[in-house]
Amino acid sequence: MEAKKITEDLSVSPQLSVADVAQARAAGFRSIMINRPDGEEADQPSHSAIETAARDAGMSVAYVPVAPGKYGSGTIETFQRELAVLPKPTVGYCKTGTRTTTLWALAETGGRPEDEIIGIAKAAGYDVTAALRSRAGDDAPTARPQGARHDVVIVGAGAGGIAAAASMLARKSGLDIAIIDPADAHYYQPGWTLVGRGVFSAAETKRDMASLIPNGVKWIKEKVATFEPEAKTVTLESGRSIGYGKLVVAPGLKLNWAGIEGLEETLGKNGVTSNYRYDLAPYTWELVKGFRSGTALFTQPPMPIKCAGAPQKAMYLSCDQWRNAGTLGNTKVEFLNAGPALFGVADYVPPLMEYVKAYGIDLSFGHNLVRIDGPAKRAWFKATPKEGEPQIVERSFDMIHVTPPQSAPDFIRSSPLANEAGWVDVDPATLRHTRYPDVYSLGDAMGASNAKTAAAARKQAPVVAENLLRDMGAISMSETAVYNGYGSCPLTVERGKVILAEFGYGGKRIPSFPKWFIDDLKPSKAAWFLKEKVLPKIYWDAMLKGREPMCKPEHKALEAAE
């Protein structure tokens, strides 16, 4: 628990766990104010669970839920009334503490000077300035801090978001575009596979975000809390509201490390690693180059995940290193895949199986990692056979490369933009939202059935740019740009050779090169050169700059596409 003092009677904290309740009681708190609605995140304790623990500890509880930015006068009055009768001192919480602090600040406006309220909140680490100075009054249905309005607002400054902004500006200069993203750094994530093999350093895959935001684009360095597509606004976690003419949603996806019991505590030690994180990919290489004998496990969770080939890329490159070092014969390698097949596009399975056999890899399908004990070097999988009941099976390991379960970000899954699976609900061809025509999406958060890869985002960016600008009237087009589901997965089967898998919707192969140059069904030195030398330059110097070689969208008549 990280409670920060607001007044003698009230402190605020980020989300409390059930275990935190006992700590709060031991710290002298006599009551809890809960301001976070249930269900914002999958692993969030319910208010009733916190209330039960509090009652057991002899504490009182009030539940006044408020969504980010929705500080209605009725909610403020309820907060004020409930807080007044709670035994003191009280600890209040939401996701980060911002909502509780803002409710307190708005409730105090009649009794304290505004500057004093702002100063108290600031001392605790919270900025309530915008909330106070844009409050519409006690009779307003919602008192939301208002921000600017932009012709185009892009949520996410990853591969998809920046590529979309650059693509629009390449077609129409001077656009009023804002990008919302709190991150200081931007990563070339496809490079982490090669960091895990010692080909790249981690530093080569990282750049300052400020250096990549396109010129003329407004960078709003905050987190998004909610969407209100009917009102054409995005609400930030600070409570500020940003209006838009068109919205592009590209926040990427969530790596749910907490979805595997015991994983977070042991990552980066005890032989437990993952190329899905910048700081862990170097540890993969450290483990691989020092491995002499034992059992190496490689896992893959249920789909969808970003770069579906990445789990086995790490495995092939590790085996290649061990073969070169003469230690492969002393190593038991097993690929435990929650899915039913080695790769989702059947045409690429035979050439991959040649490497599986050459490296002596055991394949276990229908095996999903659910628990890990790093110090004991044990892992447990839910094994689901084709026939019969699922069962929990145990494996020992000396090294394990884990791919975490993945989902859309929580603020997407809980938003009006989401489909039943939690991803942004778009038309798979136009990438326009199925219910809100002013909303587009691309990248990993987008809900079409394509592979979630950087190559996919590179092809999606010009589709979004052309269709959005046409809808704005900024460019003239008689046809609609359409996305064919293209994705690419350079399968690094050994150092120096790649099977360049390229495919679209339905698993249809879409090779970009003539067979005499790169045969996509065979391991290729040319494809390795592309992976190591060419694609990083295309990413940094073309894709993120609005230069789009080999990315011209397909087009269809408006009636056919829509």
One of 94, 319, 489, 551 is an active-site residue; which one?
A: 489
C-alpha 462/C-alpha 542 separation (Å) is 12
Contact at 8 Å (CB) between 166 and 545? yes
Question: Distance of CA 212 to CAs 170, 219, 495, Å?
Answer: 15, 11, 30
In sign, the C-alpha dihedral spanning 76, 79, 83, 89 is: negative
Q: What are residue 314's phi and psi, to 5 degrees?
A: -60, -40
Token pair listed for 496: 């120096």
Helix, strand and coil percent figures for the chain, each rounded to 5? 35, 25, 40
Would 149-253+408-561 and 257-405 be classified into the same CATH topology? yes
Q: Is 489 a catalytic site residue?
A: yes
CATH fold for domain 4-133: Protein-Tyrosine Phosphatase; Chain A (3.90.190)
**What pLDDT does residue 142 have?**
40
| Segment 534-547, tens digit of pLDDT | 999 999 999 999 99
Mean pLDDT score, 449-455 = 95
Q: Would you say the C-alpha torsion 103, 108, 110, 115 has a positive or negative sign?
A: negative
Annotation says 551 is catalytic: no
What confidence category does residue 126 fall into, taking pLDDT thresholds of 50, 70 and 90? confident
Beta-bridged to residue 478, according to DSSP, are: none
Task: Dig out the tokens for 500 from the structure.
Answer: 């360049």
Domain regions of the chain by residue span:
4-133, 149-253+408-561, 257-405
Tell me what pLDDT residue 44 has. Answer: 86
Q: What is the pLDDT of residues 259-301, one digit of tens each?
A: 999 999 999 999 999 999 999 999 999 999 999 999 999 999 9
Q: Mean of the pLDDT values across residues 193-200? A: 98
When the pLDDT of each residue in the chain is averaged and rounded to a whole number, the result is 92
Average pLDDT over residues 95-117: 89
Scan for tokens 């054409």, then name that residue. 232
Which listed residue (94, 307, 319, 551) is catalytic?
Answer: 307
Q: Does domain 149-253+408-561 have CATH number 3.30.930.10?
A: no
pLDDT tens-digit map of 24-56: 999 999 999 999 998 877 778 889 899 999 999
Domain 257-405 in CATH 3.50.50.60? The answer is yes
pLDDT beyond 90 at 1:
no
